[in-house]
């Protein structure tokens, strides 16, 4: 039984290690084979970019060698997939080599597409890649005061990042003695400051307490760099001195080019995690079209469910999954530079965030290190 995993990020890595443990006997006996194809030999811990943009960590702390994160027995190649031939159970990668499979898992993630909004890429700062986070850090260091606007596109990965960067910027400017010279303004696409109602109920008043202003029902239309104005689809204008954007995302281009899903979002069954219309192709992480948070924890819990199901298929010769993915998501929420809370929810139960504490902040800081154990499947 050949299992082929495309993508060595959070979802793909956790799944590969989970399967390698469950199928150790089958791997040794040559009855199962796990192959991973990825686009990079490095693994980036993306949540760390938030801290990088504020000068709280360095790039080297956010990377590990991908091969070193994988259990022995997993075959790993840096060979990005270019074409998917799902009817023939094979993919062809950049090297020209084809890889066939019995079970395929796609976990290629998502990317921001700032260039799709007029003026955005040229006039805003971002923190969703190493390069942009470093540029944002340098810009923040030079910034001496004015109106800082944080704006949010749809859809985007990490639903908590817009709130987190706003609260963290508040404390960052306060620490630099610039609190009186900086006005933070936050815009959000729907009619409250966060998609989760209970999170919005907490964050809205917190903004008020900290003097952060906000505008809701604000979907980014364009940026006028000369006038330093951000315009919304709803018809309003917001002037800025410094614009920080969490732009809209798409899945990877290879997904769109192969016609697997519009904008790179693959139609996926929300509990079984198979690609709609296919029984041996599964999808996890950001690239699904499941109406759920695009977050590392989502990819993690999906990978655990899928690992159990694929292992059961192989060990017991069954085709129906033994477990459903219940929509579980767990997200930390930094509420400043020294306090945090969290939100946990699934398809049935909304979250109920508690007041931020220092202990939860230190728990998130510890998790930022423990992540590497989690990726190895040890946590």
Partner 1 sequence: MAEKKIIDGRGSFCPGPLMELIGVLKMSQIGDELEVLSNDKGSAKDIPEWVRKVGHEFLGTREENGVWHISVKKTK
Ligand X SMILES: Cc1cc2nc3c(=O)[nH]c(=O)nc-3n(C[C@H](O)[C@H](O)[C@H](O)COP(=O)(O)OP(=O)(O)OC[C@H]3O[C@@H](n4cnc5c(N)ncnc54)[C@H](O)[C@@H]3O)c2cc1C
Residues contributing to the site for partner 1 (CB under 8 A): 154-155, 159, 189-191, 195-197, 217, 219, 233-234, 248, 262-263, 270, 291-293, 327, 329, 343, 345, 347-348, 350-351
Q: H/E element holding 2?
A: strand 2-6
Q: Contacting ligand X (CB under 6 A), which of 5, 70, 74, 81?
A: 81
Give exposure, 74-107, as e/b (b: 16+ Cβ within 10 Å): bebbbbbbeebebeebebebeeeeebebebbbbb
Q: Which is nearer to partner 1, 72 or 259 (CB)?
A: 259
Question: Which strands form 237-239's sheet, in the order they lie side by side?
Answer: 220-224, 229-232, 237-239
Angle subtended at Cα 345 by Cα 367 and Cα 319, rounded to the nearest 5 degrees: 95
Q: Contacting ligand X (CB under 6 A), which of 27, 124, 252, 292?
A: 252
Contact 136, 302 (CB under 8 A): no
Q: Which option in partner 1, ligand X, none does residue 219 bind, with CB closer than 5 to 8 A by kind?
A: partner 1
The site for ligand X, by CB under 6 A, has a size of 37
Q: Which option in ligand X, partner 1, none does residue 159 bind, with CB closer than 5 to 8 A by kind?
A: partner 1
Q: Which is nearer to ligand X, 128 or 325 (CB)?
A: 128
Q: Which is nearer to partner 1, 56 or 270 (CB)?
A: 270
Binding mask 11-30 for ligand X (x = CB under 6 A): xx------------------
Q: How far is the CB of 191 from ligand X (least distance, A)?
A: 24
Report if residue 126 touches ligand X, rule: CB under 6 A: no
Q: Which is nearer to partner 1, 63 or 217 (CB)?
A: 217
CA distance 93 to 189: 38
Binding mask 327-356 for ligand X (x = CB under 6 A): ----xx------------------------
Contact 55, 138 (CB under 8 A): no
Report if residue 85 touches ligand X, rule: CB under 6 A: no
Q: How many CB atoms lie within 10 A of CB 1?
A: 14
Q: How far is the CB of 236 from ligand X (least distance, A)?
A: 27
Report if residue 108 touches ligand X, rule: CB under 6 A: yes
Q: How far is the CB of 94 from ligand X (least distance, A)?
A: 8
Q: How far is the CB of 154 from partner 1 (least distance, A)?
A: 5
311: left (phi over 0), alpha (psi -120 to 50) or beta: alpha
Q: Which is nearer to ligand X, 108 or 309 (CB)?
A: 108
Taken in order 78, 82, 83, 86, the sign of the CA dihedral is positive
CA end-to-end span of the chain: 27
Instruction: Say which DSSP state 280 is in.
Output: S
Q: Which option in partner 1, ligand X, none does residue 27 bind, with CB closer than 5 to 8 A by kind?
A: none
Q: Which is nearer to partner 1, 122 or 197 (CB)?
A: 197
Report if residue 261 touches ligand X, rule: CB under 6 A: no
Task: Kindly write down the DSSP assignment for every residue of 313-341, as one continuous string.
Answer: HHHH---S-SS-----EEEEEE-SSS-EE
Q: Which pair of structure tokens corresponds to residue 111?
A: 């990317």
Q: Which pair of structure tokens corresponds to residue 269?
A: 């069954």
Q: How far is the CB of 113 from partner 1 (least distance, A)?
A: 11
| Bridge-based pairing state of the strands 281-283 and 103-106 | parallel
Identify residues 162-201 at the interface with ligand X (CB under 6 A). none
Q: Which option in ligand X, partner 1, none does residue 292 bind, with CB closer than 5 to 8 A by kind?
A: partner 1
Between the CA atoms of 278, 281, 287 and 292, what dihedral angle is there, to the nearest 10 degrees?
70
Q: Contacting ligand X (CB under 6 A), which of 16, 27, 34, 39?
A: 39
Q: What is the 3-state secondary structure (H, E, C) of 16-77?
A: HHHHHHHCHHHHHCCCCEEEEEECCCEEECHHHHHHHCCCCCCHHHHEEEHHHHCCCCEEEE
Stretch of 135-143, 223-231, 293-301, 354-362 lying at the interface with ligand X (CB under 6 A)? 293-301
Which residues are at the interface with ligand X (CB under 6 A)? 6-12, 37-40, 46-47, 49-50, 80-81, 107-109, 127-128, 157-158, 161, 252, 254, 285-287, 294-297, 299, 331-332
């Amino acid at each position: 039984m050949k299992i082929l995993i495309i993508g060595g990020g959070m979802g793909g890595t956790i799944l590969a290690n989970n399967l390698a443990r469950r199928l150790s006997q089958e791997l040794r006996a040559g009855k199962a084979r796990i192959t991973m194809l990825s686009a990079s030999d490095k693994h980036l811990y993306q949540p760390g970019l938030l801290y990088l943009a504020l000068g709280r960590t360095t790039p080297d702390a956010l990377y590990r060698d991908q091969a070193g994160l994988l259990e022995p027995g997993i075959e790993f190649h840096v060979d990005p997939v270019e074409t998917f031939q799902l009817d023939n159970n094979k993919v062809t990668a950049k090297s020209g080599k084809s890889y066939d499979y019995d079970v395929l898992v796609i976990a290629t993630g998502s990317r921001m597409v700032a260039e799709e909004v007029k003026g955005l890429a040229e006039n805003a700062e971002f923190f969703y890649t190493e390069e942009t986070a470093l540029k944002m850090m340098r810009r923040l260091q030079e910034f001496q005061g004015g109106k800082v606007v944080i704006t949010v596109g749809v859809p985007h990965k990490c639903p908590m990042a817009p709130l987190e960067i706003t609260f963290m910027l508040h404390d960052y400017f306060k620490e630099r003695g610039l609190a009186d010279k900086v006005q933070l303004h936050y815009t959000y696409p729907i009619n409250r400051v966060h998609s989760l109602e209970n999170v919005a109920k907490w964050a809205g008043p917190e903004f008020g307490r900290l003097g952060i202003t906000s505008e809701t029902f604000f979907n980014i239309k364009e940026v006028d760099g000369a006038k330093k104005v951000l315009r919304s689809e709803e018809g309003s204008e917001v002037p800025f001195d410094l614009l920080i954007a969490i732009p809209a995302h798409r899945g990877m281009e290879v997904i769109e080019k192969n016609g697997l899903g519009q904008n790179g979002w693959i139609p996926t069954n929300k509990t079984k995690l198979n690609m709609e219309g296919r029984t041996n192709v599964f999808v996890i992480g950001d690239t699904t079209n499941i109406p759920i948070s695009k977050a590392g924890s989502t990819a993690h819990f999906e990978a655990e469910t899928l690992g159990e199901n694929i292992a059961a298929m192989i060990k017991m010769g069954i085709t129906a999954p033994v477990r459903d993915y219940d929509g579980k998501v767990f997200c930390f929420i930094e509420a400043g530079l020294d306090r945090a809370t969290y939100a946990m929810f699934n398809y049935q139960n909304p979250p109920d965030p508690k007041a931020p504490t220092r202990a939860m902040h230190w728990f998130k800081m510890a998790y930022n290190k423990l992540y590497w154990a989690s990726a190895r499947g040890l946590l």
